[in-house]
Amino acid sequence: MRPLVATIDLAAIRHNYALAKRCAPGRQAFAVVKANAYGHGVREVVAALGEVADGFAVACLEEAAEVRAVLPHGRLLLLEGCFATDELPEAARLGLDLVVQDAAQLDALLATPLAQPLNVWLKLDSGMHRLGLGADAVRQAFARLRQAPQVGELNLLSHFACADERGHALTEQQVEQFLALLDLEFDQRSLANSAAVLTIPAAHMDWLRPGIMLYGATPFAELSAAELGLRPAMSLTAQLIAVREVAAGESVGYGASWVAARPSRIGTVSCGYADGYPRHAPSGTPVLIHGTRVPLAGRVSMDMLSVDLSDLPQAQVGDAVELWGAQLAVDEVAQAAGTIGYELLTQVTARVPRRYRG
Ligand SMILES: *Cc1c(COP(=O)(O)O)cnc(C)c1O
């Protein structure tokens, strides 16, 4: 069997969910499990949190159906609403909380008789300008939906563009936009993603929407997951499958982009970009062997990557290699590769087996 596995620590995910809740006492929280629970396996994560989470959130109907298969009851929020009118009956059948983010979704909802009323979350575009209605349109939608038979709770939701940059001026404007609508009697309000859960109490409202923090990665560039008290949920572990000596002046890997500056000991690791390891990670990006960081050497290939073991003479074939995880933060690897932890976690491909503990 190929020595590469993503070990998922479900106890860490429960710990991180509890931490989100402790940030905002008395509030409820949708655990965001879109994109296969950020790559961690949606079924297992939902099963692990099913007893403790107040609700879950997903990006589309297909993901909602997967969650419902594990969790027949409980609140399940469809973050972007339905993409077409013909999805509404299925949304009703699944008993979803439904975002309504534009006029077309609003008209479709009002024109479609449903088997049961749904909790509706009107989405305000408070400044991100990706999805959502403007403030006036929210007011008009509120009036039209208040008495509609399709609507159970009528709620307000918005999303931050810059909550991960502490003190960003846009965040304050977005909170103000949101607060300015609260003369309308919404049943529930939701504004906070992980970054806001962790650092913006004024945005906590009634329902939190933590995503990345559940998986033990940080939404911030300047604040590590460890500093936030988060526990990493995924450890991506491969093996040294070959070791060789390379003379000074010899190159390693595709494009011969890495050239040994000294006689070097090069290890070959059983993980590549077809597993989701970022191909653009430059030489020098750390991997962990025997608890020690060693640098990537040369280009990442499809199934393998190379590391410079010259300063770790005890490393040998068969040794475990942590690409990221419990001892090497995914955020550190992401930063080296010019991306964010979110991308690395969600890009671990299906050929990497997930093992669960906790
Ligand atoms: C993905 C998503 C979240 C979770 O964001 P994190 O930064 O991962 O906490 C919250 N709300 C909406 C609307 C989202 O799309």
Is 14 annotated for ligand binding?
Answer: no
Among this protein's residues, is 21 annotated catalytic?
no
Ligand 1 neighbourhood includes 210 CB (under 6 angstroms): yes
- Work out the pLDDT band at 45, boundaries 50, 70, 90: very high
pLDDT for 100: 98
- Residues 96, 72: contact at Cβ < 8 Å? no
Ligand 1 atom at shortest distance from the alpha carbon of 59: 15
- Work out the pLDDT band at 283, boundaries 50, 70, 90: very high
pLDDT digits (tens, 9 = 90+) for 330-343: 999 999 999 999 99
* Mean pLDDT for the stretch of residues 237-261: 98
Is 75 annotated for ligand binding?
Answer: no
Tell me how far the alpha carbon of residue 142 lies from the centroid of ligand 1, in angstroms.
24
pLDDT digits (tens, 9 = 90+) for 212-243: 999 999 999 999 999 999 999 999 999 999 99
Tell me how far the alpha carbon of residue 28 lies from the centroid of ligand 1, in angstroms.
15
Ligand 1 neighbourhood includes 211 CB (under 6 angstroms): yes
- Residue of the nearest CA to atom 15 in ligand 1? 79
pLDDT for 337: 98
d(CA 288, CA 324): 8
Q: Which of 246, 180, 140, 144 is nearest to 158 (CA)?
A: 180
Q: How many CB atoms within 10 Å of residue 2?
A: 14
Ligand 1 neighbourhood includes 212 CB (under 6 angstroms): yes
Q: Residue 76's Cα: distance from chain center in Å?
A: 17
pLDDT for 181: 98
* Pairing verdict, β 286-289 and 292-295: antiparallel
* Pairing verdict, β 207-208 and 234-246: unpaired
Tell me how far the alpha carbon of residue 57 lies from the centroid of ligand 1, in angstroms.
9
Ligand 1 neighbourhood includes 198 CB (under 6 angstroms): no
- Residues 234, 348: contact at Cβ < 8 Å? yes
Mean pLDDT of the chain: 98
pLDDT digits (tens, 9 = 90+) for 61-84: 999 999 999 999 999 999 999 999
Q: Which of 17, 21, 215, 254 is catalytic?
A: 254
Q: Which of 65, 141, 138, 142 is nearest to 96 (CA)?
A: 65
Q: Which of 34, 273, 277, 342 is catalytic?
A: 34
- Residues 244, 256: contact at Cβ < 8 Å? no
pLDDT digits (tens, 9 = 90+) for 258-276: 999 999 999 999 999 999 9
- Residues 36, 224: contact at Cβ < 8 Å? no
Place of tokens 């993980």: 271
pLDDT digits (tens, 9 = 90+) for 155-182: 999 999 999 999 999 999 999 999 999 9
pLDDT for 274: 98
Among this protein's residues, is 254 annotated catalytic?
yes
Tell me how far the alpha carbon of residue 319 lies from the centroid of ligand 1, in angstroms.
37
- Find residue 308's DSSP bridge partners: 266
Ligand 1 atom at shortest distance from the alpha carbon of 159: 13
* Mean pLDDT for the stretch of residues 39-47: 98
pLDDT for 217: 98
For 157, residues 6+ apart whose C-beta sits below 8 A from its C-beta are 99, 121, 122, 123, 124, 189, 190, 191
Burial 210-224 (b: 16+ CB within 10 A, else e): bbbbbbbbbbbeebe
Ligand 1 atom at shortest distance from the alpha carbon of 212: 8
pLDDT digits (tens, 9 = 90+) for 175-207: 999 999 999 999 999 999 999 999 999 999 999
pLDDT for 210: 99
